[in-house]
Structure 1
């Protein structure tokens, strides 16, 4: 007859089992929960939660961890660690990581750069539908980062990103068509893409589109609408737009002549680094009262915020 298990051991086993049931396993965060922590700017908590997920092979967590290392959020900033985690997620096919990894490879502040490898990763991210990668690939093919220009490819990639709604790509595609890069100018297409970027709030695009409307180039001429777009860009702090608007008010072209308004925009343009000898002559014709009024308006001016297009 075999000996039974001592009663004392059975009691100990029962206690252990009851504790195992009563104390649940530690809660493992999800990527969605980490995203919520990042959005709430609780970066230390986000880092602590996402690190185990990334170590466990979660691709999205790897990308998020790379972002936290790159930005120094919740941990010490480390471009090397950011590269490592972006590279892992990029190899696994994550388009955002492919883009971020590519951009770190051409970021001179991080140390060694590799433009050729960057272009390869941008191409992968662009092929996976990342519009920022498509736009930056367009920049590379237009001669950025020391590359030789390839305008047909620049137009191709700017076009993909522009069609997907990227305002930077829309603006740059407009410039390519306006300047005739690649051999042929397309003012109608340039105006179309400038208008799309302008409607998203880009001051540079608003300026270019406004000028085209004023000239009737690629679009029907309309002095009132053109002046409105110039004002939009000027109100958002664009010194070239401020200069052009000053000229219009000084000469009464496209708008009703207003010396004080013209002087105000000229003062703001000068402050932004856009001097104009013709407007210097105009300023000399102002009365002391007009000059004082213009200076006060310029001093009180606060540029409207520009949307973040990056």
Structure 2
């Protein structure tokens, strides 16, 4: 079987940092906060609920400032509101304070401090905090490098449904980061991540399918991956596959390059 000409280093994980925000309602003010677009004399906005001390509204307001959704993007304000929400012990807010320290959103980068906040969220079983701390442990960023400990956290997060953790377990199995290389196990984890919607898992599953000669199915998964992937990822894959001997993968390469170029010209589209 012919080995496909692309690899796991495309779009290295540190290049792309999704917000890792899970917004859900779990307090009395949440429903009203989520209806912030309504108008009327008796309707309070998310900010007003946040000012009144609703941890959910404070968390939601932090996300609004972080993403620039319905508020001007303001990392300092995002950090402030995540911190206020975290003071209540809210796990997703604790995780986001950690993200602020890891990424430098409104505060100086301090990955040791980020790890501290992730651990607080992990005490409540927060899957994204497990993934985030595991990523620091794998890199040795702000904490002692510990690939085995990172894997244990990725497994915990995956059991809670975290698709990016599933993809990372696949990389462990493929590369033999802990123990022997286990390609079948890697493929299973990539498939779980892919079916859950992780674009990296979709890409990695496509690699495995192409190795087995299933280039049509591989091309389908690559197209699914590109729909959610950053433009740079699409460009890198497109450039790598542009001269591939298989026509299915060359077609995908053209689509990937076009998607990357279009996104670069219209970043807000």
TM-score relative to the length of structure 1:
0.60
1:157 counterpart residue number: 153
1:176 counterpart residue number: 172
Where does structure 2 lack aligned partners over 5 or more consecutive residues? 1-27, 227-233, 264-269
The 3-state SS of whatever aligns with 2:50 is helix
Give me the whole-angstrom Cα distance separating, in 2, the residues matched to 1:177 and 1:91: 39
1:140 counterpart residue number: 136
Residues 214, 236 of structure 1: alpha-carbon distance in 2 compared, 3 angstrom cutoff: closer
Residues 76, 200 of structure 1: alpha-carbon distance in 2 compared, 3 angstrom cutoff: closer
Give me the whole-angstrom Cα distance separating, in 1, the residues matched to 2:225 and 2:71: 35
**Offset of 1:74 from its aligned partner?**
5.3
Residues 41, 202 of structure 1: alpha-carbon distance in 2 compared, 3 angstrom cutoff: farther
Residues 149, 187 of structure 1: alpha-carbon distance in 2 compared, 3 angstrom cutoff: farther
Equivalent pairs counted in the alignment come to 226
The reply on whether 1:129 has 2:118 as its aligned counterpart is no
The 3-state SS of whatever aligns with 1:247 is coil
2:20 counterpart residue number: none
The 3-state SS of whatever aligns with 2:246 is helix
**Offset of 1:170 from its aligned partner?**
1.0
Q: Which has the higher contact order (CA 8 A, sep 6+)?
A: 2
- Within 5 A, what are the aligned runs for 1:26-37? 30-37=29-36
Residues 246, 98 of structure 1: alpha-carbon distance in 2 compared, 3 angstrom cutoff: same
2:237 counterpart residue number: 240
The reply on whether 1:230 has 2:219 as its aligned counterpart is yes
| CA deviation profile, 1:29-48 (whole Å, cap 9, x unmatched) | 9332111226x799x95234
1:210 counterpart residue number: 206
The 3-state SS of whatever aligns with 1:110 is coil
Where does structure 1 lack aligned partners over 5 or more consecutive residues? 1-28, 216-220, 251-260, 274-298, 303-310
| CA deviation profile, 1:217-244 (whole Å, cap 9, x unmatched) | xxxx5x44x6403332146434537855
Q: Which residue, 181, 196, 199 being the options, matches 1:200?
A: 196
Residues 242, 234 of structure 1: alpha-carbon distance in 2 compared, 3 angstrom cutoff: farther
1:53 counterpart residue number: 52
CA contact (8 A) 1:134 1:158 kept: yes
Give me the whole-angstrom Cα distance separating, in 1, the residues matched to 2:114 and 2:175: 27
Give me the whole-angstrom Cα distance separating, in 1, the residues matched to 2:153 and 2:238: 29
The reply on whether 1:249 has 2:246 as its aligned counterpart is yes
1:65 counterpart residue number: 61
Give me the whole-angstrom Cα distance separating, in 2, the residues matched to 1:75 and 1:94: 22
TM-score relative to the length of structure 2:
0.68
**Offset of 1:195 from its aligned partner?**
0.5
The reply on whether 1:119 has 2:115 as its aligned counterpart is yes
The 3-state SS of whatever aligns with 1:100 is helix
The 3-state SS of whatever aligns with 2:36 is helix
CA contact (8 A) 1:123 1:137 kept: yes
Give me the whole-angstrom Cα distance separating, in 1, the residues matched to 2:127 and 2:64: 22
More helix by share: 1
Residues 201, 97 of structure 1: alpha-carbon distance in 2 compared, 3 angstrom cutoff: closer
| CA deviation profile, 1:205-228 (whole Å, cap 9, x unmatched) | 23322333454xxxxx5x44x640
Residues 240, 98 of structure 1: alpha-carbon distance in 2 compared, 3 angstrom cutoff: same
The 3-state SS of whatever aligns with 2:205 is helix
Give me the whole-angstrom Cα distance separating, in 1, the residues matched to 2:57 and 2:249: 54
CA contact (8 A) 1:141 1:151 kept: yes
